[in-house]
């Protein structure tokens, strides 16, 4: 690993590092609960680049930096020279002269990789078409707060084999839990992600129905049927209909199973109100934990 601590993807970090980040995030959460705000990031600046919309990622990173004494600059692609043809590499070189870390939300993973290759400061993946590692760090924190270690547990994914699903697969391999995915044939997780997980001995199971995925599961997860930038919205809604998480599907999981969704949710599509607002749902804790898990990530990157 290079001397610069990039947080690009869960599959690029070892289990000890991931555990350290989670522990750090939990400790900072405890501080926050006690009204303490250690000024860890005093004098540090995070630049955030958004090429796609965001509510949680933008706000939680900004609030997290500010609570710990840091500063934030937000750049939207269309309002910056990046959107006018300046290269990612040149942008990385320039921003590294101002900032202590750069977070980017973009489409192609190659842009993230280019940014990291040319930046002299840590780069954080705030979502690409292929992954969403900050989200899954918050999700693991949330699961473990409610139910203890995720190692050995069964996580069910019902829906699109998308960027969030990929990061769940990465986490399953690194942290030693089973992920069981039910996705339509046309929306399976990418073959390279599955092949790499298999090579590394991950317990990643592809099953042919939502019911089979949730059978005896400890956690049920889904996500939007139409991700930012996806085309063919109508086709997606049709093929994903059998993968909706409703109360009947939740009943197939363990009786104490939790429900998670990275949000934003499309109620009545991938999840019903009954599940979103029901007793097994921990989606608001999950959203809150973006703040705490990302403080752990920032702390590791800036150390």
Active site residues: 105, 132, 135, 223, 262, 290
Q: Return the residue of 260, 262, 265, 282 that touches ligand CP, per CB under 6 A.
A: 262
Cβ distance to ligand NVA smaller for residue 142 or 162: 162
Size of the site for ligand CP (CB under 6 A): 9
SS3 of the chain: the string is CCCCCCECCHHHCCHHHHHHHHHHHHHHHHHHHCCCCCCCCCCCEEEEEECCCCCHHHHHHHHHHHHCCCEEEEEEHHHCHHHHCCCHHHHHHHHCCCCCEEEEECCCHHHHHHHHHHCCCCEEECCCCCCCHHHHHHHHHHHHHHHCCCCCCEEEEECCCCHHHHHHHHHHHHHCCEEEEECCHHHCCCHHHHHHHHHCCCCEEEECCHHHHHCCCCEEEECCCCCCCCCCHHHHHHHHHHHCECHHHHCCCCCCCEEEECCCCCECCCECHHHHCCCCECHHHHHHHHHHHHHHHHHHHHC
Q: Which range binds ligand NVA by CB under 6 A, 4-12, 15-23, 86-94, 159-167?
A: 159-167
Span interacting with ligand NVA, options 144-152, 207-215, 223-231, 282-290, rule CB under 6 A: 223-231
Given 23, 39, 42, 55, the residue binding ligand CP (CB under 6 A):
55
Q: State the nearest-atom distance from the C-beta of 56 to ligand CP, in Å.
A: 4
Residues 103-132 that bind ligand NVA (CB under 6 A): 127
By CB under 6 A, the residues from 89 to 128 that bind ligand CP are 127
- Partner whose footprint covers residue 227, from ligand NVA, ligand CP, none (CB < 5 to 8 Å by kind): ligand NVA
Nearer CB in complex with ligand CP: 67/135: 135
> Measured between alpha carbons, how far is 299 from 297 in angstroms, rounded to an integer?
5
Sign of the torsion angle spanned by Cα atoms 244, 248, 251, 257? positive
> Among 227, 239, 254, 285, which residue sits at the site for ligand NVA (rule: CB under 6 A)?
227
Q: Which one of ligand NVA, ligand CP, none is in contact with 55 (Cβ closer than 5 to 8 A by kind)?
A: ligand CP
162 binds ligand NVA (CB under 6 A): yes
| Residue 122 vs 133, nearer CB to ligand NVA | 133
The single residue among 73, 108, 228, 239 that binds ligand NVA, judged by CB under 6 A, is 228
Q: Which residues would be at the binding site for ligand CP (CB under 6 A)?
A: 54-57, 127, 135, 262-264
Q: Which residues would be at the binding site for ligand NVA (CB under 6 A)?
A: 127, 162-164, 223-224, 227-228, 262
């Amino acid at each position: 690993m290079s001397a610069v601590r990039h947080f690009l993807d869960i599959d690029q970090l070892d289990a000890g590092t991931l555990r350290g980040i989670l522990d750090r995030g939990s400790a900072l959460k405890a501080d926050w609960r006690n009204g303490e705000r250690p000024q860890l990031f005093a004098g540090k600046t995070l630049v955030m680049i958004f090429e796609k919309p965001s509510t949680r990622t933008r706000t939680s990173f900004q609030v997290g930096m500010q609570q710990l004494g840091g500063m934030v600059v937000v750049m939207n692609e269309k309002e910056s020279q990046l959107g006018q043809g300046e290269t990612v590499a040149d942008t990385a070189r320039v921003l590294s002269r101002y900032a202590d870390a750069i977070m980017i939300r973009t489409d192609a993973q190659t842009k993230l990789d280019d940014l990291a290759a040319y930046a002299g400061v840590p780069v954080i993946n705030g979502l690409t078409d292929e992954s969403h590692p900050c989200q899954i760090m918050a999700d693991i924190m949330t699961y473990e707060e409610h139910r203890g270690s995720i190692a050995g547990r069964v996580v069910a994914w019902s829906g699109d084999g998308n960027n969030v699903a990929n990061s769940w697969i990465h986490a399953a391999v690194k942290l030693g839990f089973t992920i069981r995915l039910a996705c339509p044939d046309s929306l399976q997780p990418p073959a390279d992600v599955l092949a790499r997980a298999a090579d590394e001995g991950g317990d990643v199971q592809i099953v042919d129905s939502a019911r089979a995925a949730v059978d005896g599961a400890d956690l049920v997860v889904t996500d939007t049927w139409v991700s930012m930038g996806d085309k063919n919205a109508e086709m997606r809604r049709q093929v994903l209909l059998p993968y909706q998480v409703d109360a009947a599907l939740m009943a197939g999981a363990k009786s104490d199973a939790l429900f998670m969704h990275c949000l934003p949710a499309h109620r009545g599509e991938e999840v019903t109100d009954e599940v979103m607002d029901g007793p097994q749902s921990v989606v608001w804790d999950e959203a809150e934990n973006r703040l705490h898990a990302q403080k752990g990530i920032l702390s590791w990157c800036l150390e």
